[in-house]
Amino acid sequence: MPSLSKLLLCLASFLLVEAAPSFGGGRLERRSVGSTISTPTGTYQGKILSRVEQWQGIPYAQQPIGELRFASPQPLALTNDTTVQSKIVFGPRCGQYVNGVLSEECLNLNIYRPQGTRQTAGLPVMVYIFGGSFMGGGANSYKPTNLVLRSKAISKSVIIVTLDYRLGALGFLVSPELREQGALNLGLQDQAMAFQWVQDNIALFGGDPSKVTIFGQSAGAIAVSMHLSSIRPENSTDLFRAAILESGAPGTAPAFDYTSSYPAKKAPSDGTKYSLILASAGCSAVIAEEQLACLRNATAASILVGQSKVKTYGGFPYAPTVDGLMVPDLPSKLYSAGNLRRVPLIVGTNLDEGPEFVSSTTYYSTALTTDAQLLAWLGNQLPDATSTAIAALVRFYPSTQSYGSPYNTGNVKYLFKQFKRASSIFGDLAFEAPRRALLAAANQWSGVDGGEMPVWSYQFSQRSEGEAEYLGVSHGAEIPWVWSTVNATTPEQITLRNGMSDYWINFANDLNPNGAINTTSTTPLVWPAYEQQNKTSISFKVNATELIADTFRAGGISYINNNPDVFGQ
């Protein structure tokens, strides 16, 4: 079964191994010196590797140390200093030990563009937010080289930006003092600051700041969804014009935040989390007015010790919280008010989102073999739901093995008797119901009080080679296909790999995954926009990519979305 570390990594991504692409022609070049670019905040020299020019570790904000710890990110100072800084190595991950070193000087981003890109190129820009439960992961897990090369091969070149942002307690701690100072959701604020840096500087690298698409997976997709409703003045619609959400939506975080183990082990409150941090930092005895100053003077290591003591038995120990700014309200209330940026969206999930989580003892401590145990487990995950509401939900999910997740596996039983049933329910609570709710809201508000909001929905249905059968098409399985790093050896595999990359590249270029009108598409088939009167998704699978009706498990998913207060939506 997956360990907690594997679970956290899976919530973000799989570590992508860069493979030699089968497109573009020619041998990959050795590393050579890249261009030197002068910005108002520094002059940076990059490198060229595999025909991709890249800069790594460029700061996009003042580093969050000293007085800036637990504070909103601050813009970099303008400078006349023309000293060339070599930016060919990744900056540190935020608030994590890497090779025994812990650093908070992590508000950096990385830029990748096709070799030979001119400053006047005006290329579309794709800004990626990694996942990892808002606790782990980093931009250096991703190798955008192949996706950049693919974009050039189909004459739709893009620039890709990856970024690091504050995680865990350093990025998502909640306290009255932080709320009063507008310093909640600091990780989201960091991302918005990075978006602003892109607006201010990407033209110097050959990008078009008016053609930015933000995209992310898992916690990264949740973060993307938060930016769709953020009302911070600096986070206006001008920061991006489109978004892609892979396995995450606004309702996913609340669903995870309620998760706890069987039997009853409730996640600690924000106050308890804060008190653990205070205690580990030696700040418990300090008067309330001076606690934040004490935390800013404490060692980062002591804060991580307190962070590690927060046990949620699954879910997000730290996650976005309603602050009225970055996260104005619960998703269902934002949807009903039409608080959504009117931008084109791609929103999707994988066939079997639930098994990865239900298979981990992080999420249960006793195998679920009876109906009573399943109901009790759900009761611990959903503290606001009555036993009547939980029983009503469970009735939509038959106990017959053939109905459960991993789907399409017949009557095979995995791990324990209620595993497939619990996985199906969990996957719908955390992923499918939030996806459908977002799609419905986008359809409802498109063209109302703003621009159009066309949306496309997908389901990734290709199981990863070597993946345990009980995980099915698991959370994160689509990542190497999107990034063109999967080891595709057959024509059918290459078609799927290139097709998925091309849909994403087309979307960044043309605001349509099929590409511009009246052009020849390089993708497997026309992917129609999602509409309530014709709920069509595309299902990605080797040699079997097809259009499907997005009506599966309609009863259970509708019940979840029709009772948002009960199910944390």
Q: Which residues are catalytic?
A: 218, 353
CB atoms within 10 A of CB 398: 12
CB atoms within 10 A of CB 535: 17
CB atoms within 10 A of CB 122: 14
562 contacts: CB under 8 Å, gap ≥ 6 = none
Q: Which two tokens stand for residue 134?
A: 């808002």
| 112 strand-pairing partners | 54, 160
| 456 strand-pairing partners | 346
- The runs of H, that is alpha helices, within 176-316 are 176-180, 186-201, 219-227, 252-257, 270-281, 288-297, 300-308
- In total, the chain counts a number of residues equal to 569
Calpha distance 340→230 (Å, rounded):
8
CA atoms within 13 A on the CB side of 6: 11
| Largest interatomic CA distance in the chain | 69
Gyration radius from the chain CA atoms: 23
b/e burial code for range 487-522 (CB count within 10 A of at least 16 → b): ebeeeebbbbbbbbbbbbbbbbbbbbbbbeeeeebb
| 538 strand-pairing partners | 458, 547
Q: Which two tokens stand for residue 131?
A: 């996942």
Per DSSP, the residues of 175-207 read -HHHHHTT-SSHHHHHHHHHHHHHHHHGGGGTE
CA atoms within 13 A on the CB side of 242: 25
